[in-house]
């Protein structure tokens, strides 16, 4: 079945038309008159839908590879699975950032089996074929029997993904040679990424990935984690234990009253909004502190001077309003389809790799600011592990909820998931609407784009001839 044949058909009426006992032809149902936005649950569990996603989304969208500080020196590399393909992300001997498919051009075995390191060459363990850090085939181990001009046309060098580009040091690849540029694809998400870089004294040059990563699996569809990553609606009911922890930690300090008002004041402090092309964000205030410029009394006086200086720098550089936005607001961003930035106490990157219709793997990295006090970096990493880690306060709660959702849709007769909260029925484009931090307009932005891609309306491709 071709991807064109597999696409759901567009309906000419509001109510999705059923195909016998199977799913409807439209999996995203929007009814502005009833202020209703819903997603058919086969989008979370159908094997056929998952196969379509691989062709229409993961083969055509820009996918995150890594950050430049993960490969600072010539010969440095990391290996990752990206959109179902194994990739070597490296800095070659000319200091160029490159990406290759991690498969020998002889028989297909992986030429690099380490997760990270530094190498002068990559050697296939099967027959000894060797490739340099530019991907060039430099040895077939035994040359006897091969003609001398075997690789004159370079067809046996390691192949590269069609496109590799970066925005402020964050590298993405695309398997589609006709894809639009990364800058165009990111749309308004660039402004949110700017807000992460602008927090550091040296901008994007001041951000770096701290060594180590989280890697774990979840028994749920990958889109559940995308939704959850900027879902302000679930914060209070799901993360009660974390809010209680914050309250206990703040007891007897000047922050106690602020923490006590978290639930009551959450809706009024922040927003959720789409920023184009299915990307969306949640900006919210949670009184957990931020090393960049929001000091908590429980952190002690030692770090207060640096945090106050950070805040003064932000005010001087950007003005009071933007300084408060950078310093005090948590900003969670989802880049369609599977990259998450969690900017809370620290900055965490998560890549969601779907492995089946009902399973995913997650890899996450913490970031810090160069030159900051070790105590501030320690606060960031503590949050990376103890809130966003797979066994932390937040992620453990979230993983349980996502797996419960997957279990529920597999057996219950309910066909549709309701995502209507806060929908702006007058918004010309639901991908760029704005709502309160506990609304669902950010999910509506994601699913509107998902629907357009799956139906062939958007392919993120340049026009023919360009």
How distant, in Å, are the alpha carbons of 291, 292, 299, 378 from that of 303? 9, 11, 7, 11
What would the DSSP string read from start to end of 168-207? TTEEEEES-TTBPPHHHHHTTHHHHHHHHHTTSTTGGGGE
| pLDDT at residue number 458 | 93
Please name the residue that has the structure tokens 């950010």.
Answer: 442
pLDDT in tens, the chain (466 residues): 333 333 333 332 334 444 445 567 799 999 999 999 999 999 999 999 999 999 999 999 999 999 999 999 999 999 999 999 999 999 999 999 999 999 999 999 999 999 999 999 999 999 999 999 999 999 999 988 898 999 999 999 999 999 999 999 999 999 999 999 999 999 999 999 999 999 999 999 999 999 889 999 999 999 999 999 999 999 888 888 888 878 888 888 877 777 777 666 677 788 999 999 999 999 988 888 899 999 999 999 999 999 999 999 999 999 999 999 999 999 999 999 999 999 999 999 999 999 999 999 999 999 999 999 999 999 999 989 988 889 888 899 999 999 999 999 999 999 999 999 999 999 999 999 999 999 999 999 999 999 999 999 999 999 887 6
Question: In the chain, what are the domain boundaries?
Answer: 63-167, 210-454
Contacts 24+ apart (CB under 8 A), 402-408: 402/218, 402/220, 402/224, 402/225, 402/228, 403/218, 403/219, 403/220, 405/44, 405/220, 405/224, 406/44, 406/45, 406/219, 406/220, 406/221, 406/224, 406/358
Closest by CA position to 421, among listed 150, 37, 6 = 37
Q: Is the dihedral of CA 20, 26, 29, 33 positive or negative?
A: negative
How distant, in Å, are the alpha carbons of 55, 96, 198, 421 from that of 171? 22, 13, 18, 34
- Other CB atoms closer than 10 Å to residue 383's CB: what's the count? 25
Length of the chain: 466
Dihedral of the alpha carbons of 453, 458, 462, 464, in degrees to the nearest 10: 110
How distant, in Å, are the alpha carbons of 59, 197, 306, 344 from that of 206? 32, 8, 16, 18
| pLDDT at residue number 377 | 95
How distant, in Å, are the alpha carbons of 315, 334, 401 from that of 434? 26, 15, 26
Q: What would the two tokens of residue 273 be?
A: 């909004």
- 220 and 354 Cβ atoms separated by less than 8 Å: no
Task: Say which CATH topology domain 210-454 has.
Answer: Naphthalene 1,2-dioxygenase Alpha Subunit; Chain A, domain 1 (3.90.380)
Residue 46 exposure: Cα atoms within 13 Å on the Cβ side: 17
E-strand stretches of 266-403: 270-276, 279-284, 330-335, 339-343, 347-356, 359-369
Question: Looking at domain 63-167, which of 3.40.50.1000, 1.10.357.10, 2.102.10.10, 3.40.50.300 is its CATH number?
Answer: 2.102.10.10
The CA distance from 295 to 308, in Å, is 8
Q: Residues 61-119: pLDDT tens digits?
A: 999 999 999 999 999 999 999 999 999 999 999 999 999 999 999 999 999 999 999 99
Question: Could you tell me whether strands 359-369 and 214-218 are parallel, antiparallel, or unpaired per DSSP bridges?
Answer: antiparallel
Residue 339, phi-psi category: left (phi > 0), alpha (psi -120 to 50), beta (remainder): beta
**Torsion angles phi and psi, residue 315, rounded to 5:** -60, -45
Q: Residues 290-308: pLDDT tens digits?
A: 999 999 999 999 999 999 9
Q: What would the two tokens of residue 251 be?
A: 């007891």
Q: What single DSSP character describes residue 373?
A: -
Closest by CA position to 383, among listed 218, 210, 219, 233 = 210
How distant, in Å, are the alpha carbons of 111, 150, 367 from that of 122? 6, 19, 28
Q: Is the dihedral of CA 230, 274, 460, 27 positive or negative?
A: positive
The CA distance from 388 to 381, in Å, is 10
- 342 and 194 Cβ atoms separated by less than 8 Å: no
């Amino acid at each position: 079945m071709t991807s064109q044949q597999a696409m759901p058909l567009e309906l000419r009426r509001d109510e999705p038309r059923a195909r016998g006992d199977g799913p409807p032809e439209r999996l995203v149902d929007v009814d502005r008159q009833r202020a209703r936005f819903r997603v058919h649950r086969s989008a979370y569990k159908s094997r056929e839908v998952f196969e379509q996603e691989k062709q229409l989304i993961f083969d055509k969208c820009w996918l995150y590879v890594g950050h430049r500080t993960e490969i600072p020196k010539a010969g440095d590399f990391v290996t990752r699975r990206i959109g179902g393909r194994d990739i070597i992300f490296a800095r070659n001997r000319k200091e160029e950032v490159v990406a290759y498919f991690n498969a020998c051009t002889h028989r297909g075995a992986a030429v690099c089996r380490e997760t990270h390191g530094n190498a002068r060459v990559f050697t296939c363990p099967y027959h000894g074929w060797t490739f340099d850090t530019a991907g060039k085939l430099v040895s077939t181990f035994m040359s006897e029997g091969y003609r001398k001009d075997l690789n004159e046309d370079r067809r046996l060098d390691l192949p590269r993904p069609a496109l590799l580009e970066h925005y402020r040091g964050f590298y993405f690849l695309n398997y589609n040679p006709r894809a639009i540029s990364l800058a165009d694809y990111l749309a308004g998400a660039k402004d949110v990424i700017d807000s992460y870089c602008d927090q550091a004294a040296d901008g994007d040059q001041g951000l770096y990935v701290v060594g180590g990563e989280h890697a774990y699996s979840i028994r749920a569809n990958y889109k559940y984690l995308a939704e959850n990553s900027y879902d302000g609606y679930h914060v209070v009911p799901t993360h009660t234990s974390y809010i209680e922890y914050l309250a206990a930690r703040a007891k007897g300090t000047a922050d106690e009253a602020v923490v006590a008002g978290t639930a009551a004041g959450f809706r009024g402090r922040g927003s959720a909004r789409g920023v184009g092309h299915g990307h969306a964000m949640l900006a919210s205030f949670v009184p957990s502190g931020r090393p960049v410029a929001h000091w908590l009394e429980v952190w002690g006086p030692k770090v207060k001077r640096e945090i106050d200086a950070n805040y003064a720098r932000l005010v001087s550089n950007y003005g009071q309003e933007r300084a408060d936005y950078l310093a005090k607001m948590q900003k969670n961003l989802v880049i369609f389809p599977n990259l998450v930035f969690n900017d809370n106490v620290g900055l965490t990157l998560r890549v969601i790799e779907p492995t089946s219709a009902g399973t995913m793997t997650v890899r996450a990295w913490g970031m810090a600011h160069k030159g900051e006090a070790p105590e501030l970096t320690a606060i960031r990493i503590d949050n990376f592990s103890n809130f966003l880690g797979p066994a932390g306060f937040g992620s453990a709660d979230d993983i349980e909820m996502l797996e419960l959702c997957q279990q529920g849709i597999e057996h219950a007769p309910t066909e549709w998931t309701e995502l209507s909260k806060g929908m702006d029925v007058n918004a010309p484009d639901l991908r760029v609407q704005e709502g309160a931090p506990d609304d669902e307009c950010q999910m509506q932005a994601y699913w509107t784009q998902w629907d357009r891609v799956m139906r062939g309306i958007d392919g993120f491709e340049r026009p023919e001839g360009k």
